[in-house]
Structure 1
Amino acid sequence: MSIEYIVSGLLVGLLVGVTGVGGGSLMTPLLVFLFGFKPSVAVGTDLLFAAITKTSGVWVHHTKHSSVDWKVVTWLGTGSIPFAIATLMVIKHYMAIGKETTGAITFTLGIALLLTACALLIRSVILSRKSKNPPAVEEDSDIVIPDESEGRFKRMQIPATIFVGAVLGVLVTLSSVGAGALGTVALLFLYPKMRTVKIVGTDLAHAIPLTAVAGLGHLSLGNVDLTLLGSLLIGSLPGIWVGSLLSAKIPEYFLRPVLASVLMLIGLKFVLV
């Protein structure tokens, strides 16, 4: 195992812990630009990395906070898992006939990073408005119980959620980016009455099966470096823990715009390659 990979995992883990931004938007560009990995290998390795590191977070949200809406997770997965598998089959087909997929993966990665950068900025605005407009309290009641499952699209809520899941399935499988920041913003838009902690828990719970299926698919295609994966995990797991402790002491209003700007520059570089 390489000390450089372990240190990289530690640094990315710190940033993930402090900012809450998914590791894919940080780790994949790092592996491509700093260490020279093929985009397909960087994406495949990062997908399994994400599936493993997110598992403990879901356990906390489910057991301690009860902040996972499993119905919404199911609807998202109904769209994302089949489309992730379909995307993997398309990649496998192109590999079988000898066509290069690096260009498509690189371009998709750039688009995903640009969308993530925008999502970071939009998320702050949405959360700010949400805090200023809390759910209405029923009269003659001391308990506030908002109907969190009520969506923006009423009768079309389930199809809309499945559609969002399908888009995330394709995007995450091709780029390893989007399950975190984009998924959170999508849920904030789809379910405006849902508490923020439940948005985060639900998005996290959906990301695990999606990244696991996509990561195992890339593993079967030979797009995962297991030695690299082990090194990144050794560094990132303590990094996420330390970053989570530091998050309360570092102002989010400063970090998020800086991080969004960096992701936007990296995304433009990928798109314009």
Structure 2
Amino acid sequence: MLLYTATGALIGLIVGITGVGGGALMTPALLFFGFPAHIAIGTDLWYAAVTKTSGLFAHHRKKHIRWDIALNMTLGSMPAAILTGLALSIWFENPESYASVLKTALGFMLIITATALIFRSRIVKALGKRNPGKTERNPAFSLRLLLTGAILGVLVTLSSVGAGAVGTAVLMVLYPRLLPKQIVGTDIAHAVPLTFIAGVVHLYLGNVDFALLAALLLGSIPAINIGAAISGSIPSKYLHPTLAGLLLVLGMKYAIF
């Protein structure tokens, strides 16, 4: 278990420095160690729910969260996560029989996450020139949020990836007037209940290793705080492209091969 604690610490440090979602790094790491896809994804969802909860309270205290947006997305994502779990339990006899589905979804989401990281700065610059007006008050926009949440609910349940980087990219496009801290806070407010309910779904399916989870959290929780504290002194212009390239390669590996 010492190896898994050290892995949790390393990934926690990277997450604290770069802000890249832990799921995009943790699930491939667990697969590398030989864990089955269903255990890696189910355990990582609980890891994400626990590690993001402290961030949720911090952003709430600082009033960085647009709860109306987070609620609309959650109303779409939570039912979708539950239905995805039911579909897996009905259509497949055991976790091993849907391993290929999980790995393909993981690869797909890693590619999307890498793309979001690569083009995030360009998206910010492009949206900064737009004048979105009152779009966010349009009732159809709530429907878009519900649909976006539903899509994320399915994909995050299947892959454990996307609630962070992909959710943030979507909010940046839909709400270009929100401040970066509001984007992050709102995304976390949606990601916590989504990863929690998806984790419960995988617990029901028997896909969670709590001893492994404890070892990962033991290393990652202090490391995330250390990473966040030193992040300002470490240039991100090299770290983000490197991580994006790594995630892109891993995504192609799981999606294609």
Q: What's the TM-score, normalizing by structure 2?
A: 0.95
2:202 to 194, 203, 218: 218
Residue segments in structure 1 that go unaligned for 5+ positions in a row: 136-145
1:43 to 41, 44, 61: 41
How far 1:156 sits from its partner (Å)? Answer: 1.7
Aligned residues of 1:152 and 1:189 also touching (Cα < 8 A): no
User: What residue is the counterpart of 1:204 in the other structure?
Assistant: 188
How far 1:121 sits from its partner (Å)? Answer: 1.4
User: What residue is the counterpart of 1:262 in the other structure?
Assistant: 246
How far 1:217 sits from its partner (Å)? Answer: 1.0
Aligned residues of 2:163 and 2:187 also touching (Cα < 8 A): yes
C-alpha distance in 2 between matches for 1:185 and 1:154: 20
Number of aligned residues: 257
User: What residue is the counterpart of 2:97 in the other structure?
Assistant: 100
User: What residue is the counterpart of 1:13 in the other structure?
Assistant: 12
Residue segments in structure 2 that go unaligned for 5+ positions in a row: none
- More helix per residue: 1 or 2? 2
User: What residue is the counterpart of 2:178 in the other structure?
Assistant: 194
CA distance 1:74–1:4, change in 2 (3 Å): same
Other structure's SS at 2:34 match = coil
- Residue 127 (str. 1) matches residue 124 (str. 2): yes
How far 1:251 sits from its partner (Å)? Answer: 1.2
Deviations along 1:62-84, one digit per CA (max 9) or x if unpaired, are 01x20101100110011100100
User: What residue is the counterpart of 2:2 in the other structure?
Assistant: 3
- AA partner of residue 221 (structure 1): L
Aligned residues of 1:152 and 1:192 also touching (Cα < 8 A): no
- Residue 78 (str. 1) matches residue 75 (str. 2): yes
- AA partner of residue 49 (structure 2): A
CA distance 1:174–1:14, change in 2 (3 Å): same
Higher-Rg structure is 1
Other structure's SS at 1:21 match = coil
How far 1:164 sits from its partner (Å)? Answer: 0.6
C-alpha distance in 2 between matches for 1:151 and 1:163: 17
